[in-house]
Amino acid sequence: MQLSNPSLLQTGIFINNQWLPAANGHTFRVENPANGSLVAEVANAGEPETLQAIEAAEQAFASWSTRPAKERSNMLRQWFNLIIANTNDLALLMTTEQGKPLSESKGEVVYGASFIEWFAEEARRVYGDVVPSPDPHKRIITLKQPIGVVAAITPWNFPIAMITRKIGPALAAGCTVVVKPASLTPLCALALAELASSAGLPPGVLNVLPTTQSASVGKILTTHPMVSKVSFTGSTQTGKILMEQAASTIKKISLELGGNAPLLVMNDADIQKAVAGAIASKYRNAGQTCVCVNRIYVQSDIYHRFMDAYTPAVQALKVGEGTRSDVQIGPLINADAVKKVQKLLSDATDKGAVITTGGRLDPQGGLFFQPTIIENCNSSMQLSQEEIFGPVSAIYRFTTDDEAVALANNTIFGLAAYFFSENISRCLHLAERLQYGMVGINEGLISYTEAPFGGIKQSGFGREGSKYGIDDYVFVKYLCIGGL
Ligand code: ADP
């Protein structure tokens, strides 16, 4: 990996704007999922570093939170500029530790940076209210104030965007942050920290703990009395543990958890749009996103028309190392991810599903999995209830709109849903009946900084991005002025 800015490859723990080794000298390996090679040995943070990071953030909070918003805004803007200026290096770092194709990595750097830009702007618009008082001798005013030290725990599938979408609003609001990135992809987080320090962020405002000791570090972050807020993106299973731990000190929390996105192809859909939307949503990041389509429901009377167009489009997807420019699907993240996909496919075929495209490891070996289509799926199969997190299209049929809505809502999750129809009244009725936080209508890509991202049901709560994103990092203080 040849970076034009070698200072972006950092391997220390980032506390108080300093790069530190672990006190006990421990490190861990970061590997390239495309070929298993060692990318870097990274310091492995444990309990002492976690406590040190929390204390640094607590100390920095007093001055960071009371700076004029315009100053925080200017620093965030400078950080945004540096991220954009280093897009190519950051993208290469991302593809090397995470595996996604370079074009997707570049897209994520720009998307990730957009949260820093957006919240640099929003920093100056954290307004309170002056409320008409029922008592002529009193006045009622509200302020929004930063909540305090924030712990952010993030996953490996978007090693930059899942971090910036939390720390952008946190820093804008005046909070300070301790980030624990996924152990599979710490290098992007560390590169972001290096750029934050170059942008002039004061010591202690942002701290990053690379570690393989997620459970013990997570326990401290979610129970320490100096941490006021926990923001987590990851599995529902881990989210439940963190929520329970955070209850011990009643921390404010936001959870962006698993999804099980349905995509409905109605019989009046524009088939080309539906194919393009399904491919875009399903195969991005080799199917490893929480808003990836997990279940494709096709109305019976257009089933063959849709599949005749969809199948060749899936078969045309090219699998390989993300640094090759012709590749659309990189490797899966690790051997466990491959095993999970294989287990879900064999459970489904045991119950009557039929693999019509792909279905196995790619001939080039390693962690590369073929783009796959499996038809004749039904609700008894595990892949209808769990996130597949791989390049597999599971196809189901339905006959009526009521049936489609019931099937789509038949899950504990409620993150994203998609459908395709050219009838406006049908579109609005479907959109209103789908129990999801986000709905893509004739569209497979829905994530924008300007729009609120988040789920309902066991997909979590809180909204990231948009004008709502900052609400998770402030509390409303009410002032009652009497004796007037
Ligand atoms: P994924 O399927 O994306 O790996 P996880 O929920 O396992 O989902 O991981 C998301 C993030 O949560 C990662 O940073 C991981 O290290 C962290 N994590 C996993 N288990 C725990 C835990 N018990 N406490 C704190 N963080 C955890």
Q: What is the pLDDT of residue 254?
A: 98
The span from the CA of 374 to the CA of 351, in Å, is: 12
Cβ(182) – ligand 1 distance below 6 Å: yes
CA nearest ligand 1 atom 23, residue: 215
Compute the 3-state secondary structure of the chain and give helix, strand, coil in percent, each to the nearest 5. 40, 25, 35
How confident is the model over 375-390, as pLDDT tens digits? 999 999 999 999 999 9
Give, for ligand 1, the residue of 153, 233, 242, 255 to mutate: max count of ligand atoms closer than 8 Å to Cβ. Answer: 153
Choose among 101, 136, 430: nearest CA to 263. 430
238 CA → ligand 1 middle, Å: 6
**Ligand 1 nearest-atom number relative to CA 153:** 14
Q: Give the span between the Cα atoms of 318 and 85, in whole angstroms.
A: 29
> Ligand 1 mean position to 293 CA, how many Å?
22
Q: Which residue has the tokens 């400078």?
A: 78
- Return the structure tokens found at 387: 């996130």
Q: What pLDDT tens digit does each residue of the chain (484 aa) get?
A: 899 999 999 999 999 999 999 999 999 999 999 999 999 999 999 999 999 999 999 999 999 999 999 999 999 999 999 999 999 999 999 999 999 999 999 999 999 999 999 999 999 999 999 999 999 999 999 999 999 999 999 999 999 999 999 999 999 999 999 999 999 999 999 999 999 999 999 999 999 999 999 999 999 999 999 999 999 999 999 999 999 999 999 999 999 999 999 999 999 999 999 999 999 999 999 999 999 999 999 999 999 999 999 999 999 999 999 999 999 999 999 999 999 999 999 999 999 999 999 999 999 989 999 999 999 999 999 999 999 999 999 999 999 999 999 999 999 999 999 999 999 999 999 999 999 999 999 999 999 999 999 999 999 999 999 999 999 999 999 999 999 9
Catalytic residues: 256, 290
DSSP lists the bridge partners of residue 319 as 329
Report the interhelical angle of 303-315 vs 271-283 (nearest 10°): 50
Task: Give me ligand 1 centre to Cα 236, in Å.
Answer: 10
What does the pLDDT read at residue 1?
A: 84
Distance 319 CA to ligand 1 centre (A): 27
User: Is residue 183 within 6 Å of ligand 1 at its C-beta?
Assistant: yes
Q: Token pair 């972001």 is at which residue?
A: 192
Q: What does the pLDDT read at residue 274?
A: 98
Query: pLDDT value at position 437?
Result: 98
Phi-psi map region of 45: left, alpha, beta (phi>0 left; psi -120 to 50 alpha) = beta
With a 6 Å cutoff on the Cβ, whether 466 touches ligand 1 is no
Test site for ligand 1: of 214, 232, 256, most ligand atoms within 8 A of the Cβ: 214
Q: How far away, in angstroms, is 153 Cα from ligand 1 center? A: 7
User: Cβ(214) to ligand 1 under 6 A?
Assistant: yes
Phi, psi of 200 (to 5 degrees): 100, 10
Q: C-alpha 238: how far from its chain's center? A: 14
Q: What is the DSSP letter of 476?
A: E
Q: Are 144 and 126 in contact (CB under 8 A)?
A: yes
Within 8 A by CB and 6+ apart from 134, the residues are none
Any idea which residue has 């701290």 for tokens?
207
If residue 174 lies in a helix (H) or strand (E), which one and from where to where? none
* Residue 184: both structure tokens together: 């599979």
What's residue 458's pLDDT? Answer: 98
Determine contact, residues 414/455, Cβ cutoff 8 Å: yes
- Whole-number pLDDT of residue 185: 98
Mean pLDDT of the chain: 98
The bridge status of strand 293-299 relative to strand 261-265 is parallel
Measured between alpha carbons, how far is 342 from 117 in angstroms, rounded to an integer?
A: 41
Task: Please name the residue that has the structure tokens 């209830």.
Answer: 385
